[in-house]
Amino acid sequence: MLLAVVLAGGAATRLPGKLATVAKHGEKLLRHVVRVASLVADEVVVVARGYDPRWGLHRYVTVYDDPFFYGKCAGPLAGILSALGESRAWRVLVLSGDYGLVTPMVIEALVEAHRGRDTATILWCNGLIEPLLTVTSRSTLERVKTLCRTSPGLKPRPTLVHRLAETLLLLPISHLAVDPVLLASINTPWDLVTPRPKARAACRMEPRVHKPPLASLPFGRLGEPNVLLAEARYWLEHNVNHLALHAALDAEALGATGAEALAREARGRLGLERLHQGSVARKGH
């Protein structure tokens, strides 16, 4: 059984009217995402911090307000885990409401690629992945939930799902045989007018199954700086720069020597280093 968790809480806050009321080609963006999910999944839950009846999605919506989810495990992870408690499904499609152009073909390709794997997502040419367009297992999400409770030093980002997976299939964007614009995040009015791919999509990559370095480790070791440094190096070696950056940032937060250099390398590969430098300059440090 496949559960689709559509994340609408806090999404597209820079759009006038937000996701639930903004339309593209006559269909409201959030309604489009829910419709696409319902064509592929056995069950659909929309998670939001509040619900407006005008959305017309009352059959799907779960409102989460458990203080636990606003603590160590807030944001998108909170929504995913709260929806998990409402279902008995063992496979979970995570889908952000920002994907206002997504099609059933994209979702079906990812779901098919996930068969026999623990977790699957899409990989761009620069090593960026799609944390909020992912198929994963209930067991991995339960592991993430336990980590949120124990808080061993890893920041609760959505990429924890991929870093803690037993196996991770990365499906290159070029293998989807669809226009990469369909994976654009619709966050601003400009995105509606001229949606753009997140990164370069034309490159020679093959699907690959990884055994994430953290997968087999006990929770007590996940907060060890050397473990996180080794994880960052692994993902850099395999050009999964998104996960490398998050591992390096976690190591840097723990004061690990060499973590800053690894984070800088990952940002450079992702094309984010210039943005990071500008952010640091604005903060004055």
Give per-residue pLDDT as tens, 238-250.
999 999 999 999 9
- Would the pLDDT of 18 be above 60? no
Checking DSSP bridges between strand 23-24 and strand 27-28, what pairing results, if any? antiparallel
3-state secondary structure of 169: strand
Q: Are residues 132 and 44 in the same domain?
A: yes
Q: Are residues 94 and 203 in the same domain?
A: yes
Q: Are residues 29 and 97 in the same domain?
A: yes
Q: Are residues 213 and 228 in the same domain?
A: no
pLDDT bin (cut points 50, 70, 90) of residue 85 is confident
Q: Are residues 207 and 92 in the same domain?
A: yes
Q: Are residues 241 and 186 in the same domain?
A: no
Q: Are residues 263 and 275 in the same domain?
A: yes
What would the 3-class secondary structure string for 33-47 be? Answer: HHHHHHHHCCEEEEE
Give per-residue pLDDT as tens, 101-129.
999 999 999 999 999 999 999 999 999 99
Question: Which of 255, 256, 248, 263 lies closest to 213, judged by CA?
Answer: 248
pLDDT at site 24: 54
Q: Are residues 187 and 256 in the same domain?
A: no
Two structure tokens written together for 136: 């994963």
Q: Are residues 43 and 82 in the same domain?
A: yes
The residue range of the domain holding 31 is 2-221
The CATH number for 13's domain is 3.90.550.10
Q: Are residues 185 and 239 in the same domain?
A: no
Q: Are residues 214 and 241 in the same domain?
A: no
Q: Are residues 145 and 195 in the same domain?
A: yes
pLDDT at site 16: 41
Specify the amino acid at residue 13: T
**Of 169, 199, 221, which one is at a domain's C-terminal end?**
221
Question: Domain total for the chain?
Answer: 2
